């Protein structure tokens, strides 16, 4: 087909992506910046659950506050200013994002170089609205109002090789921008279908949800409401085939209603799309009732129809890395291979696990638990070569952590996040938990897990 394909990352070049491959134009980095040249940095402002302040008012107050602020910008949380009673009353937390678009190597942006782009949002606590199929046993789809409390922090918790998440966010943001600006699709072609593929447990489904959440925050001044509908493709091919056709019709009627409201941004997440292709194949070979064929075709037709709506993004995942024979997936502009975590990613995932166990005081820390900070992978090399001193204990931990990360080669992100729990359960004395001992157990557990793959 003549459609444009932007491959975010091919399986072949997964290892080749360097932290530096998504830098802005060189001139922005190397040339001395003129005073009027500003770097846009996102500032995400989460309102308290009970706040009734208007988003617009909070944004203005935030912009004023940031204008007066003469501190440098670096990714991470900043405190809500105590002297501003309006903000302290309404704002739960403030987070600076995306400074790494402009600076690298833990560098910082000076306040006068920055143009803050403030996004104020409130998390929905409504929870998923579940729709049950036929006998009421399997749920066919879930619906969330975004940004949802369930997905808070998910984006940050997913760790990949540098650049993957950022590229995904940028492509999706560009697609939405083209739509918003009314770019003629006959002249410039693009679409809003995302496909994440790769082995199971690498965080594809989570990444889709986290991406939807992120976009709902970033685009909330354009789209007042935002929903995520999660369709479990697998459940559509349950034994209630006769019901499935009706379910698909009902589901898409609902989505269509959401989409008709132009201030709604709708994400449709279809997990395990390969099951559609499989069901079609089985139907063709006669091993499945032809009903399933009808369901697949109905689903594909509906998705095709939906694709033309400007305020829909279709997110799909597949555990099969080979080409999937489904027409609409062929046309996905945003395809990303999500592979098993690299050594750096494994280290970072395990580091975040350890931090959490220290924070919750399950692991004893030799320093103040609230101050406990293990060095990141990138700052590890210089630290490890430093003469042993005050930080000797931390360094010892880092070495062990690195060793654990090495022992975890081949484990998925999902298995890695379970490892600390399994290790804890294997401890002989789980109540006094020394981090060094814990890491030794974790290495053993990792080896056992690997032998069971
Ligand atoms: P998939 O859809 O690829 O099977 P999931 O989205 O169900 O994977 O991932 C399950 C869980 O595994 C995630 O919620 C997350 O906790 C963890 N996980 C997987 N990959 C990663 C990763 N790269 N970084 C951090 N956590 C991960």
Distances (CA, A) of 448 to 13, 42, 199, 423: 30, 43, 20, 11
Q: 194: which strand partners?
A: 315, 334
How remote is the CA of residue 201 from the centroid of ligand 1, in Å? 5
State how far the alpha carbon of 77 is from the alpha carbons of 27, 209, 448, in Å: 29, 22, 38
**Tens digits of residue pLDDT in 280-306:** 777 777 766 667 777 778 888 888 888
pLDDT of residue 146: 97
Confidence of residue 326 (pLDDT cuts 50, 70, 90): low
- Has residue 25 got a pLDDT over 50? no
Q: Return the C-alpha torsion angle 21, 167, 102, 312, nearest 10.
A: 160
Q: What's the order of all strands across the beta sheet hosting 264-271?
A: 6-9, 334-337, 193-197, 312-318, 264-271, 225-232, 139-145, 129-132
Tell me the pairing of strands 129-132 and 139-145. Answer: antiparallel
* Best residue for ligand 1 mutational test, from 156, 159, 203 (most atoms within 8 Å of Cβ): 203
CA angle 265, 269, 274 (to 5 degrees): 150
In eight-state DSSP terms, residue 49 is T
Q: Could you tell me the pLDDT band of residue 154, with boundaries at 50, 70 and 90?
A: very high
Nearest CA to ligand 1 atom 23: 159
Closest by Cα among 317, 314, 335, 342 to 8:
335
List Cβ neighbours of 411 (8 Å cut-off, separation of 6 or more).
340, 341, 346, 419, 446, 449, 450, 453
Pocket of ligand 1 (CB under 6 A): 157-160, 200-206, 317, 341, 345, 349, 413-414, 417
> Closest Cα to atom 27, ligand 1: which residue?
413
Write out the two tokens for 69: 């602020």
3-state secondary structure of 315: strand
User: Which tokens go with 158?
Assistant: 């997913």
19 pLDDT above the threshold of 50: no
Mean pLDDT, rounded, for 183-211: 91
Closest residue CA from atom 17 of ligand 1: 414
Higher pLDDT, 47 or 323: 47
**Tokens for 204?**
């594809």
User: Residue 297 in 3-state DSSP?
Assistant: helix
The structure tokens listed for 435 are 């981090």
Q: What is the Å distance from ligand 1's center to 142 Cα?
A: 19
Ligand 1 atom at minimum distance from 271 CA: 2
Atom 21 of ligand 1: nearest residue by CA position: 413
Average of per-residue pLDDT values in the chain: 82
Q: pLDDT tens-digit profile of 336-358? A: 899 999 999 999 999 999 999 99
Nearest ligand 1 atom to alpha carbon 207: 6
* Nearest atom of ligand 1 to the alpha carbon of 157: 25
Report CA(205)–ligand 1 centroid distance (Å): 7
- pLDDT score, position 12: 41
pTM listed for this prediction: 0.86
ipTM of the predicted structure? 0.99
**Residue 103: pLDDT band with limits 50, 70, 90:** confident
Cis peptide before 214 (omega within 30 of 0): no
Per-residue model confidence as pLDDT tens digits over 384-394: 666 666 577 88
């Amino acid at each position: 087909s003549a459609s444009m394909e932007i491959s975010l990352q091919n399986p072949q070049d997964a290892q080749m992506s360097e932290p530096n491959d998504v830098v802005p134009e060189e001139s922005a980095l190397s040339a001395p910046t003129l005073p009027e040249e500003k770097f846009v940095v996102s500032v995400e402002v989460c309102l308290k659950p009970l706040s009734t302040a208007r988003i617009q008012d909070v944004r203005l107050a935030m912009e004023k506050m940031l204008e007066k602020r003469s501190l440098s910008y670096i990714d991470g949380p900043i405190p809500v200013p105590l002297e501003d009673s309006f903000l302290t009353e309404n704002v739960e937390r403030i987070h600076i994002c995306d400074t790494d678009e402009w600076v690298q190597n833990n560098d910082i942006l000076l306040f006068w170089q920055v143009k803050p782009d403030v996004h104020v949002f409130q998390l929905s606590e409504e929870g998923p609205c579940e729709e049950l199929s036929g006998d009421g046993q399997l749920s066919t789809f879930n619906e969330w109002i975004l940004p949802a409390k369930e997905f808070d922090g998910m984006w940050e918790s997913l760790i990949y090789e540098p650049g993957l998440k950022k590229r995904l966010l940028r492509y999706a943001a560009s697609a939405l921008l083209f739509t918003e600006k009314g770019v003629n699709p006959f002249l410039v072609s693009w679409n809003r279908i995302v496909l994440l593929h790769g082995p199971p447990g690498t965080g594809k489904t989570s990444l889709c949800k986290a991406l939807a959440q992120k976009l709902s925050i970033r685009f909330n001044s354009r789209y007042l409401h935002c929903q995520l509908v999660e369709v479990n493709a697998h459940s559509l091919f349950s034994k209630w085939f006769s019901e499935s056709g009706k379910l698909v019709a009902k589901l898409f009627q609902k989505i269509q209603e959401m989409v008709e409201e132009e201030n709604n941004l709708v994400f449709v997440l279809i997990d395990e799309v390969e099951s559609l292709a499989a069901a079609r194949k089985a139907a063709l070979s006669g091993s499945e009732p032809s009903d399933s064929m009808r369901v697949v075709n109905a689903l594909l037709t509906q998705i095709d129809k939906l694709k033309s709506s400007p305020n829909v993004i279709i997110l799909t995942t597949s555990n099969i890395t080979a080409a999937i024979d489904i027409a609409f997936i062929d046309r996905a502009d945003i395809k990303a291979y999500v592979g098993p975590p690299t050594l750096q990613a494994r280290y970072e995932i395990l580091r975040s696990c350890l931090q959490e166990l220290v924070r919750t005081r399950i692991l004893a820390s030799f320093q103040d638990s609230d101050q406990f900070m293990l060095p990141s992978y990138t700052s590890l090399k210089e630290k490890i070569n430093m003469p042993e001193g005050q930080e000797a204990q931390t360094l010892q931990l880092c070495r062990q952590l690195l060793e654990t990360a090495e022992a975890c080669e081949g484990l998925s992100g999902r298995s890695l996040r379970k490892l600390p729990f399994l290790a804890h359960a294997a401890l002989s004395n789980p109540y006094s938990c020394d981090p060094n001992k814990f890491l030794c157990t974790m290495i053993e557990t990792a080896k056992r897990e690997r032998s069971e793959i």
